[in-house]
Amino acid sequence: MHIENTSEIEIDLTGRLSIRILRIYAFMIGVGICIWIPFEDGNLRWVIIFALAIAIWLALRLSLITIKGKILSNLAYLLIGLLVGISVTPFAIGLILVKNGIHGHLVPDFTYEDIMFLIQTVYVWGIAGLFIGSGFLMLNISKKYKAEDKNANCS
């Protein structure tokens, strides 16, 4: 997609509430990660939870972007869902690398097998994100139809 004028892209804030909520959510993720990092934990559960939380934050942030003031198209919901699903794996690997780098043990908290397991699950996360994106798409379509029915009944 080629955009000739950068003023066509704007952020639909719907008030300052949306950005404030995203900032609070990001702060909570950061605090959780800061609490988690010092612990000697080699379990992938917390890595995946934090990576999923970061990916959800990314989806919420992307959903605020509009082009020429229009609401996201149907394809955009699916693409955002796919992007968020696929991004869980790189976020998780990044968290693993940060934790292993900070701890600096001879034997790392997370092994090569853990990283390979996450790489092998990128397809599962992508499909899950696509399903979630299609769910939000159906929710958006139902809201449009509900608004049209309400306007038709008022006339």
Q: pLDDT per residue over 4-54, tens digit each?
A: 544 444 444 454 557 888 899 999 999 999 999 988 888 899 999 999 999
Residue 122 has pLDDT above 80, yes or no: yes
Encoding tokens for residue 65? 């972007």
Q: Is the dihedral of CA 97, 103, 106, 109 positive or negative?
A: negative
Cα–Cα distance, 94 to 62 (Å, whole number): 21
Q: How far apart are CA 64 and CA 134, in angstroms?
A: 17
pTM of the model as a whole: 0.77
Q: What is the mean pLDDT of residues 91-115?
A: 89
Report the Cα 40 to chain-centroid distance in Å.
Answer: 27
Given a cut of 70, is residue 91 above it in pLDDT? Answer: yes
Closest CA to 60 of 139, 8, 145, 133: 133
Is pLDDT at 85 greater than 50 in this prediction?
yes
The rounded distance, in Å, linking the Cα atoms of 120 and 154 is 53
The pLDDT value given to residue 71: 60
* Terminal Cα-to-Cα distance of the chain (whole angstroms): 39
| DSSP 8-state assignment for residue 38 | T
pLDDT of residue 130: 93
The percentage of the chain sitting over the pLDDT mark of 90, rounded to a whole number, equals: 41
Predicted pLDDT at 146: 75
Give me the residue spans of the domains in the chain: 13-154
